[in-house]
Amino acid sequence: MTEKFGATSTTDNVLSGVDLRGKRILVTGVSAGLGVETARSLAARGASVIGAARDLEKAKGAIAEARRDAAAAGGSIDLISLDLASLASVRACADQLQEQGQPLDVIIANAGVMATPFGKTADGFETQFGTNHLGHFVLVNRLASLISSGGRVIALASSGHRFADVDLDDPGFERTPYEPFFAYGRSKTANILFAVAFDQRHRARGVRAAAVHPGGIQTELARHMDQGQMTELLGRINCELAAQGKEPFQFKTIPQGAATSVWAAVVASAEDIGGRYCENCHVSEVVADDVVITPVSEGVRRYALDAASADALWRKSEEMVGESF
303 classed as catalytic: no
Length of the chain: 325
CA distance linking residue 103 with residue 54, whole number of Å: 23
CA distance linking residue 13 with residue 51, whole number of Å: 22
Helix/strand/coil percentages in the chain, nearest 5: 45, 15, 35
Q: Please state the φ and ψ torsions of residue 152, each to the nearest 5 degrees.
A: -140, 155
DSSP symbols for 220-261? GGGTTS-HHHHHHHHHHHHHHHHHTT-PPP-PBPHHHHHHHH
- Are 180 and 255 within 8 A, CB to CB? no
Which position among 178, 184, 277, 303 bears the catalytic label? 184
How far, in Å, are 148, 161, 293 from residue 289 at the CA level?
36, 11, 10
Within the chain, where are the H helices?
A: 11-14, 33-43, 56-62, 64-73, 87-100, 127-128, 136-143, 180-202, 227-243, 254-262, 270-273, 307-321
Determine the number of helices (DSSP H) and then strands (DSSP E) in the chain: 12, 10
The set of catalytic residues is: 184
